[in-house]
Structure 1
């Protein structure tokens, strides 16, 4: 009987199996977490590759080539590698530089007017002065729901001297060379004012009410409370809205594209986006269009990074 006991204990130990080391358990848990992370981030990575990185890479590759006729031209055009030749052509083109100047003037007028007006309206809605705040916010937000092309056509007919009433009420021609920039600024501001007002108004709702009550207890009026407490508290939101508005200004396309059919003051290269459209779909110069697109994207990225860096410094 004594000789059978050790044999049974050995069999039971073999059946139970030897315990796993801790290192292997940690490795298996880590591999499971990595697999779960890859599974969850896989759709985002595929979407990022398919919609952002691949189109950008193809645009950069396309900007390095141009089409030229070979021999006597009987074989048709063929792609020729020109390195940075398309970029040099775009940067030395007076039409592109004029479009950049038009967009700079547009941004200098549009951004302060639109963001300033949206902030003022949001502060009024957040205060107790305005009654039926939801109705007014919906009324101001409605122009954003109108498609850009439809809004452009509406304003184009309003500006038209033969049909619309606005031309006779203004001291300048809204479709003339001296007034078309102001008209485009007005069209864009009308459409985007309510959108940014909702953003600012939502951010104002997050301001602690205890802080506002303390300011009133200290004798601060509505104007002092708005300038000293509310506006500084929503500064990060204002910088984000500034970045989006700046990118949208650089990509200005719909309003001048619609007005081209109503006035000769807006040329086919009045903005960089129109320059890209004319190069690609009118002149069939895809290399030049791709180069202009890359330059526009780089300018948008650099200006956005500058604004975000400025926002970080102000927050610190």
Structure 2
């Protein structure tokens, strides 16, 4: 276990400690700015500035709305696909497992670029097909851009989570399913009253990972924002941190915002785990 802890300390604990140190300082210019900058101790000043910045607080509101749409779509879609693949009527199961998983094998940045092309009028066969059907949908509109981001994320992660759900379904004793069939349960009733309750732990674990990953959303909105300018460069918490660090060069504020985001992720993990344990206990 020593190599794991060494690597964990190097890539997780050390960066967290350095971010905590950076969050206590800020860069200040002297005079008219010609004298360079000076690092001064800010204490909790950077944290206070982040917590009172409407852009930072608003980014969590954007992610909350995103999660309300994305999480049901992703969890529901992955579970539905897993149940279909696990069905006795499904043929070529190995093919469908690989086919559904392939989008996850594409790096997130590349997936976002692919969908950016598919969303662009004049270049995309998707927009041309929609126009041919008389449907006019602006993927980069102020109201539609959120759904474009949800689609990119769902396309990439549904197959991955489907594999996890399918593995859980395969662990269900076949005798249990046979008993349900003998008792007269049909395929639909067996799926939702026998299979799903028996993989509650898997569903809760997937939901936990999905929530933590959702609040760290960056690639899709960052690229789509290039065309959907209404989103703004600080639409998500990670985009806000990126803007402060690499556009404003305010590394102290970026470090403080990063630590606050990590705190929110920890609290969210705690809440999801507690609710999930109650759901499993109610079985």
> TM-score higher than 0.5 here?
yes
**Counterpart Cα distance in 2 of 1:171 and 1:75:** 55
**Matching residue of 1:153:** 113
**Aligned 1:101-180 pairs, distance under 5 A:** 101-167=61-127, 169=130, 170-180=135-145
How many residues get paired? 276
User: Which consecutive unaligned segments of at least 5 residues does structure 1 have?
Assistant: 1-40
**Aligned 1:202-213 pairs, distance under 5 A:** 202-213=167-178
Q: 1:252 aligns with which of 203, 217, 239?
A: 217
SS at match of 1:219: coil
**Aligned 1:196-275 pairs, distance under 5 A:** 196-275=161-240
Instruction: Give the deviation of 1:129 after TM superposition.
Output: 2.0
**Matching residue of 1:192:** 157
**Counterpart Cα distance in 1 of 2:228 and 2:203:** 35
RCO comparison, higher one (Cα < 8 Å, 6+):
2
Q: 1:182 aligns with which of 144, 147, 153?
A: 147
Q: 1:304 aligns with which of 257, 269, 274?
A: 269
- So what's the TM-score if we normalise by structure 1? 0.83
- So what's the TM-score if we normalise by structure 2? 0.93
User: Which consecutive unaligned segments of at least 5 residues does structure 2 have?
Assistant: none
Instruction: Give the deviation of 1:64 after TM superposition.
Output: 1.4
**Matching residue of 1:60:** 20
Query: Computing the radius of gyration over CA atoms, which structure comes out larger, 1 or 2?
Result: 1
Q: Does 1:93 align with 2:58?
A: no
**Counterpart Cα distance in 2 of 1:99 and 1:172:** 25
Instruction: Give the deviation of 1:75 after TM superposition.
Output: 4.3
**Counterpart Cα distance in 2 of 1:49 and 1:150:** 30
Instruction: Give the deviation of 1:211 after TM superposition.
Output: 0.7
Instruction: Give the deviation of 1:289 after TM superposition.
Output: 0.4
Tell me: CA distance 1:44–1:148, structure 2 relative to 1, closer, same or farther (3 Å).
Answer: closer
SS at match of 1:80: strand
Instruction: Give the deviation of 1:228 after TM superposition.
Output: 1.4
Instruction: Give the deviation of 1:49 after TM superposition.
Output: 1.8
**Counterpart Cα distance in 2 of 1:236 and 1:127:** 21
Instruction: Give the deviation of 1:106 after TM superposition.
Output: 0.8
